[in-house]
């Protein structure tokens, strides 16, 4: 497989769990084991544009238990003989080679995945964000010679980029340091909130300046949070911002 592979450095590795849960997009070359018409292949691909049951292949890095995965879209691109090229947008953890096998079974001739290229991983897309290892090596040498941090920004992006598609809650400056110490977020600390948040969903806690503070699990939906004046809004799971970045404005326990 080739394509987009986000790489986290140093403290930004804390956002990897959010990337693992983000949707992916692939361009796949599927090889049919027999003859089939283009119309038949197109029809079957569209039938798989749904929530599917998948059991990981025998050669997989996870336990082979039945699970569901969402296919957001499957777009037929072209067909040449038994070679079928299509694009699929899917939920994290989807096995495209298993998708090819299942499509082949429904078409009636069998199929396997010949080639696969990841064109998007979360908010990172091939057309706008990708750099090659050759680019990285060249720019890093340039930075070593010039010591200009603007050169690093050509291939190193802020970790907030990885959270672009994660639902967000924006908090008051006075609540930031408490969150950095692992406190749960309460309603008085919330200034604004994005739509689409549900209880149990992973969310990102941000400052008004657009700085990532933490990853948290929502304790209520967007609508419920908007009505709350007191109580817990989200449980902090992973602190992203170093302690002391914002001035402490809360009291610790004690007499």
- Which of 68-77, 96-105, 144-153, 208-217 has the weakest average pLDDT? 144-153
Q: Does residue 112 fall inside a structural domain? A: yes
What's the CATH code of the domain at 220?
Answer: 2.30.130.10
Q: Does residue 55 fall inside a structural domain? A: yes
Q: What is the pLDDT of residues 172-192, one digit of tens each?
A: 999 999 999 999 999 999 999
Q: What is the pLDDT of residues 131-147, one digit of tens each?
A: 888 999 999 999 999 98
Q: Name the pLDDT band for 254 (thresholds 50, 70, 90).
A: very low
Asked if 90 and 8 sit in the same domain, the reply is yes
Q: Does residue 107 fall inside a structural domain? A: yes
Q: Does residue 250 fall inside a structural domain? A: no
Q: Does residue 100 fall inside a structural domain? A: yes
Q: Name the pLDDT band for 169 (thresholds 50, 70, 90).
A: very high
Give the model's pLDDT for residue 1: 78
Asked if 116 and 18 sit in the same domain, the reply is yes
Q: Name the pLDDT band for 26 (thresholds 50, 70, 90).
A: very high
Q: Does residue 199 fall inside a structural domain? A: yes
Domain residue limits at 176 = 166-239
What is the domain count for the chain? 2
Asked if 203 and 111 sit in the same domain, the reply is no
Q: Does residue 70 fall inside a structural domain? A: yes
Asked if 178 and 118 sit in the same domain, the reply is no
Asked if 208 and 93 sit in the same domain, the reply is no
60 vs 78 pLDDT, higher one: 78
| Res 103 pLDDT > 90 | yes
Q: Does residue 133 fall inside a structural domain? A: no
The three-state DSSP-derived secondary structure of 13-63 is HHHHHHHHCCCEEEEEEEEECCCCCHHHHHHHHHHCCCEEEECCCCCCCCC
Asked if 183 and 98 sit in the same domain, the reply is no
Q: Mean pLDDT across the stretch 53-65?
A: 78
Q: Mean pLDDT across the stretch 206-224?
A: 96
| Res 20 pLDDT > 70 | yes
CA atoms of 229 and 91, how far apart (whole Å): 35
Asked if 92 and 184 sit in the same domain, the reply is no
Asked if 75 and 173 sit in the same domain, the reply is no
pTM over 0.85, yes/no: no
Asked if 32 and 120 sit in the same domain, the reply is yes
Give the model's pLDDT for residue 251: 60
How would you classify the pairing of strands 2-3 and 111-121? Answer: parallel
């Amino acid at each position: 497989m080739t394509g987009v592979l986000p790489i986290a450095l140093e403290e930004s590795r804390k956002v990897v769990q959010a990337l693992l849960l983000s949707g992916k997009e692939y361009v796949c070359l599927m090889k049919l084991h027999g003859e089939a018409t283009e119309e038949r292949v197109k029809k079957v691909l569209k039938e798989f544009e749904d929530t599917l049951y998948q059991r990981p292949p025998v050669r997989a890095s996870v336990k082979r238990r039945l699970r569901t995965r969402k296919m957001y879209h499957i777009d037929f691109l072209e067909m040449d003989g038994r070679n079928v090229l299509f694009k699929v947008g899917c939920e994290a953890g989807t096995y495209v080679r298993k998708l090819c096998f299942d499509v082949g079974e429904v078409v009636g001739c069998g199929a396997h995945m010949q080639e696969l290229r990841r064109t998007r991983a979360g908010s990172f897309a091939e057309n706008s964000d990708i750099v090659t290892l050759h680019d990285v090596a060249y720019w890093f040498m340039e930075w070593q010679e010039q010591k200009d941090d603007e050169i690093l920004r050509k291939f190193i992006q802020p970790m907030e980029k990885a959270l672009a598609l994660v639902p967000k809650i924006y908090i008051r400056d006075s609540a930031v340091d408490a969150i950095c110490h692992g406190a749960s977020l309460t309603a008085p600390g919330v200034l604004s909130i994005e739509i689409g948040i549900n209880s149990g969903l992973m969310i990102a806690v941000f400052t008004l300046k657009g700085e990532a503070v933490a990853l948290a699990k929502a304790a209520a939906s967007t609508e419920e949070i908007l009505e709350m004046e007191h109580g817990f809004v989200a449980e902090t799971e992973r602190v992203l911002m170093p302690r002391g970045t914002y001035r402490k404005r809360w009291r610790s326990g004690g007499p």
